[in-house]
Amino acid sequence: MKTETTLAQPHIKAEKAVRPRQSFYQRHESLILGGGSVLIVVAIWQAIWSYTDWISPLFFSGPSAIAKAFWSMVQDGSLFADLAFSGKNFAIGFGAALASGIVLGVIIGWYRRIRLIFDPFLNALYAAPRVAMMPLIIMWFGIGMWSKVFIVFLSAFFPILLNTVAGIRNMDRDLLRAARAFCASDWQVFKTLAIPGSVPFILTGVRQGVGVGLIGVVVGEMLGSSEGIGFRVAYGGQTFQTDTLFVGFVIIAIGGIVLSWAAERLERHFSRWRPER
Amino acid sequence: MIKLQIDHLTKHYWLEREDRNVLALSDVSFSVEDGEFMAIVGPSGCGKTSMLNIIAGLLPYEEGDVLIDGKRVNGPGIDRAVVFQHASLLPWRTIGGNVRYGMELQKRFDEATMRDRAEHFIKLVGLSGFERHYPSELSGGMQQRVNLARALAADPVVLLMDEPFAALDAQTREFMQAELLKIWSKAKKTVVFITHQINEAIYLADRVVVMSARPGRVKDVFKVPFERPRNLSLKRDPRFLELEDSVWKLIEEESDRLGMVAAV
């Protein structure tokens, strides 16, 4: 018998490999190529806008005109008022959808009978485009903020709920068997397997919910509101203030990019244990 | 002293897909001594995994008895731990967290003891320094070490191993067999080791149960005559090969009877 107290270490070192040296370009390739292409497109657009009469200011706009409209909206404070209105509606509606979607999703995912009872309603409501309910929602809540809050809630709720249900149900059978072999109770299975295992699903739901929630707030404001970014876009269109319309459009695009980037970061943070992609 | 006793165990189950009753185990009896390493070998479909699941308490049984220290098995218990074929590690827990998992579920030890035991068994299976790694960062062989450490840390009376090396490549498997013997000699547990590899069973075990297929019956139980500690070179020893060959013939008869090629 050997007298050693521990066994040989496997022949793989725990240290991280040394990162090979990279040039400035290699380290920032996506930023350089992505940012560069945006700059070039904007420059061409601006050149056409300034030096040709191919673009009618009635139907389209140019970067400098958009910037000017943006600046005047910043100065008179209307841009921040609109942003605050839309942002508040989105935040309240999305927060409510997040909390209720996760809690109900966990319950529906865990209890088979509750799922069978709710399934037909969930599927019907999920398949129907929720913004189509906007006229009804305006009838209920008026054209103030609560109709917008509600449409955001309704839009974001279903992707969060259904992804949570899928996450809870997607329990690994091998893991369940292992847990049971170690005498796990239902509560322990729920706590140690169902919940952590569904986190990536929930975050996918959050990412989808951000997208449809954003559509909800914009469309809601377009259809019935006197404030907000969506209203600004619709109003710009109705009054042929094409520059203002474009400012609203750019703001919405940036808002969408920032929010989905944040959701993606969140998703990545909580899936550190997954194999590298 | 007898630790585990299987007494006239018979297991039927209903095959939903084919709408018929299947006899998985038929009148299986054998016993395992305290501290003994028992291997159970047989062709696929001999019910050996069903038997392990019954001993683990994961599968109910009606006919016969499974006794551990004289007590009938009725569901999972803290006196058993299973090393599964698929490592079944929680992917969101680190290695340290996974080794603690069984202990946490069983709630037998306080926090300090769990920490000490986790550290001890991670060291025993040779994974010191990997505590903070995630399972996805480990090779298959290393994941099986974690699987083994998790089971040992739970301090079972009987350690059940369900073809734990079947999914590993041939070299890693040989290496892990040698490692397992070293770990076993230190941990001093009663082991029931399921495998379909005859030479794995002979190399590891004190005694071997040979099972027949469909329905699973005990064909033979024999004592492995080789001294411990055993080296991997034992597998090239003529006496070892002879023994392997005789077991192979037992199983082959069985396969001929069923008109199929042995899945060994």
Q: Which residue of B has its CA nearest to A4?
A: B182
Q: Are A185 and A66 in contact (CB under 8 A)?
A: no
Which chain B positions have a beta carbon within 8 Å of A188's beta carbon?
105
Suggest the residue from A4, A7, A16, A199 to mutate for an interface test with chain B (most B CBs closer than 10 A). Answer: A7
Please tell me if residue B139 touches chain A, with a CB cutoff of 8 Å: yes
Cα distances (Å, whole numbers) of residue A165 to A124, A186, A197, A207, B236: 16, 17, 12, 16, 55
CA distance A164 to A221: 29
Q: Model confidence at A17, in pLDDT bands (50, 70, 90)?
A: low
Q: Are B152 and B105 in contact (CB under 8 A)?
A: no
Instruction: Using a pLDDT cut of 70, give the percent of chain A over it.
Output: 92
SS3 label, residue A19:
coil
- pLDDT tens per residue across span A210-231: 989 999 999 999 888 888 999 9
Question: Given an 8 Å threshold on Cβ–Cβ distance, is A182 in contact with B81?
Answer: yes
Which chain A positions have a beta carbon within 8 Å of B84's beta carbon?
174, 177-178, 181
Question: Given an 8 Å threshold on Cβ–Cβ distance, is B139 in contact with A179?
Answer: no
DSSP states of A35-81: HHHHHHHHHHHHHHHHH-S-S-TTT---HHHHHHHHHHHHHTSHHHH
Non-local CB neighbours of A226 within 8 Å, separated by 6+ positions: A143
**d(CA B244, nearest CA chain A) in Å:** 25
Residue in the block written with tokens 């290695």: B95
**d(CA A171, nearest CA chain B) in Å:** 11
ipTM surpasses 0.90: no
Which chain A positions have a beta carbon within 8 Å of B123's beta carbon?
6
- Is residue A1 scored above 70 in pLDDT? no
CA distance A204 to A156: 12
Give CATH for domain B35-44+71-258. Answer: 3.40.50.300
Q: Which residue of B has its CA nearest to A176?
A: B88
pLDDT at A275 (0 to 100): 64
CA distance A64 to A50: 9
Sign of CA dihedral A48, A54, A56, A60: negative
Phi, psi of B226 (to 5 degrees): -90, 140
Instruction: Give B150 or A10, the one with higher predicted confidence.
Output: B150
SS3 assignment for chain B? CEEEEEEEEEEEEEECCCCEEEEEEEEEEEEEECCCEEEEECCCCCCHHHHHHHHHCCCCCCEEEEEECCEECCCCCCCEEEECCCCCCCCCCCHHHHHHHHHHHHCCCCHHHHHHHHHHHHHHCCCCCCCCCCHHHCCHHHHHHHHHHHHHHCCCCEEEEECCCCCCCHHHHHHHHHHHHHHHHHHCCEEEEEECCHHHHHHHCCEEEEEECCCEEEEEEEECCCCCCCCHHHHHCHHHHHHHHHHHHHHHHHHHHHCCCCCC
pLDDT at B172 (0 to 100): 85
What rounded mean pLDDT belongs to chain A? Answer: 86
Q: Model confidence at A3, in pLDDT bands (50, 70, 90)?
A: very low
Which chain A positions have a beta carbon within 8 Å of B76's beta carbon?
180-183
CA distance A153 to A220: 12
Residue in the block written with tokens 């409501």: A125
SS percent in chain A: helix, strand, coil, step 5: 75, 0, 25
Of B88, B124, B141, the CB nearest to A177: B88
CA distance A66 to A250: 9
Question: Given an 8 Å threshold on Cβ–Cβ distance, is A183 in contact with B56?
Answer: no
Of A178, A188, A275, the CB nearest to B88: A178
- Tell me which residues of chain B have a pLDDT lower than 50: 262-264
Per domain, the residue ranges of chain B are 35-44+71-258
Residue in the block written with tokens 């500690």: B229
Find, among A259, A245, A221, A226, the residue nearest to A70 by Cα.
A245
A42-46, A53-57, B88-92: lowest mean pLDDT where?
A53-57
Decide which of 1.10.3720.10, 3.40.50.620, 3.30.43.10, 1.10.3430.10 is the CATH code for A61-269: 1.10.3720.10
DSSP state letter for A131? G
For residue A26, the number of C-alpha atoms closer than 13 Å in the C-beta half-sphere is 5
**d(CA A181, nearest CA chain B) in Å:** 5
Q: Are A236 and A245 in contact (CB under 8 A)?
A: yes
pLDDT at B256 (0 to 100): 66
Query: How many residues does this entry show for chain B?
Result: 264
Suggest the residue from B90, B161, B180, B182 to mutate for an interface test with chain A (most A CBs closer than 10 A). Answer: B90
pLDDT at A36 (0 to 100): 93
